[in-house]
């Protein structure tokens, strides 16, 4: 989903993994903003600048080897 040049991706993961994913992505300063949008369903939203989309994709690909991450669409929430 794109909005004013920012790419938004919603991800569902295990509740215990939210802090880990935030920690990893925040370690790469300015790549993405992470917001927990539904704590009970363990859904986070990444807001990514288009210039960093491929970098974030690479990080997510690596994280998927360690933890369960599922990208969800607007209608799945």
Q: What is the band of 77 on the pLDDT scale with cuts at 50, 70, 90?
A: low
- The Cβ of residue 25 has, within 10 Å, a number of other Cβ atoms equal to 20
Going 75 to 8 to 29 to 60, the CA torsion angle's sign is positive
Enter the pTM of the model. 0.84
Domain residue limits at 21: 2-72
pLDDT (0 to 100) of residue 75: 56
Dig out the tokens for 39 from the structure.
């704590």
- In-domain check, residue 58: yes
- In-domain check, residue 34: yes
- In-domain check, residue 77: no
- In-domain check, residue 41: yes
Model confidence at 31: pLDDT above 60: yes
| CATH number for position 18 | 3.30.70
- In-domain check, residue 32: yes
> Domain tally for the chain?
1
- Compute the distance between CA of residue 10 and CA of residue 47 in angstroms, rounded to an integer: 9
pLDDT (0 to 100) of residue 4: 64
User: What number is the average pLDDT over the span 17-43?
Assistant: 92
pLDDT (0 to 100) of residue 30: 85
From residue 48, give the alpha-carbon distance in Å to each of 13, 14, 51: 18, 21, 8
- In-domain check, residue 22: yes
pLDDT (0 to 100) of residue 39: 87
């Amino acid at each position: 989903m794109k909005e004013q040049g920012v790419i938004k991706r919603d991800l569902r993961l295990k509740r215990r993994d939210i802090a880990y994913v935030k920690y990893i992505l925040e370690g790469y300063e300015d790549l993405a903003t992470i917001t927990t949008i539904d704590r009970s369903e363990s859904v986070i939203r990444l807001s990514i600048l288009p210039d960093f989309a491929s970098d974030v994709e690479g990080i997510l690909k690596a994280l998927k080897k360690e933890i369960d991450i599922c990208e969800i669409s607007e209608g799945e929430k």
